[in-house]
Chain A
């Protein structure tokens, strides 16, 4: 069974204090690993898709990396507007287009 574990559950940062969120996964053949951002009371917003180990993608202050067992979402010099829940999800060969989500990391950035 596909499993996704995110850590930490919650993270508080000062503005400008860089850090990383972790997503560990166990799947029967990875088709893709996805990062989403979710603000309270809203649907998830797509950030990145990673397909193979060694792949990296960047968007503004965010950078996602992938290994065979985990993915990291690096946040460089965060701002208060980066505060949100960050969700990691995997798509496996066994379950086709379905996504299996982790529980998420709640990020709070204080000014």
Chain B
């Protein structure tokens, strides 16, 4: 149980184009999902918190207009990197928050998406 998928697993795009990454919770509903970025040999850096039916909350220093987040349903959140540039190349990971009172309140992570911008 508690499986989270991401699509695509990797993507290569040209500078200036936009890329959409999907994050799905496959066997549970998640009102909250999170988007992280990870640089080589570094830990996860939280970019934003995505709440179903409302606007995402971005961490300090993360450009809202560059990283568009939509959480349209209880099982799907999307991250769109707009006008991508080489410095946006990174490993993007999402997580879905599973809360069951008295049982669990845990983030389950997707497999990640490797973005390379040429």
Contacts and interface: CB of A to CB of B under 8 A. Distances in A.
Interface residues of A, number: 20
Interface in A14-58: 31-32, 34, 36, 41-46, 49
Contacts of B60: none
A73 interface: no
Nearest to B31: A97
A46 B49 contact: no
B105 A103 contact: no
A87 interface: yes
A94 to B, nearest CB: 14
Contacts of B49: 97-98
Contacts of A102: 43
A49 B105 CA distance: 9
A71 interface: no
Contact of A87 (B2, B44, B97): B44
Contacts of B97: 97
A46 B108 contact: yes
Q: Which of A31, A36, A87, A102 has the most CB of B within 10 A?
A: A36
B43 A99 contact: no
Interface in B65-106: 91, 93, 95, 97, 99, 104-106
Contact of A99 (B4, B6, B42, B46): B46
Given A41-B91, A99-B107, A101-B44, 13 more contacts: A32-B106, A34-B106, A36-B109, A43-B4, A44-B44, A49-B104, A91-B105, A97-B32, A97-B34, A97-B97, A98-B34, A99-B34, A104-B43
29 contacts: A31-B105, A32-B105, A34-B106, A36-B109, A41-B114, A42-B112, A43-B4, A43-B6, A43-B95, A43-B111, A43-B112, A44-B44, A46-B109, A49-B105, A49-B106, A87-B43, A87-B44, A91-B105, A97-B34, A97-B99, A97-B105, A98-B34, A99-B34, A99-B46, A101-B44, A102-B43, A103-B42, A103-B43, A104-B43
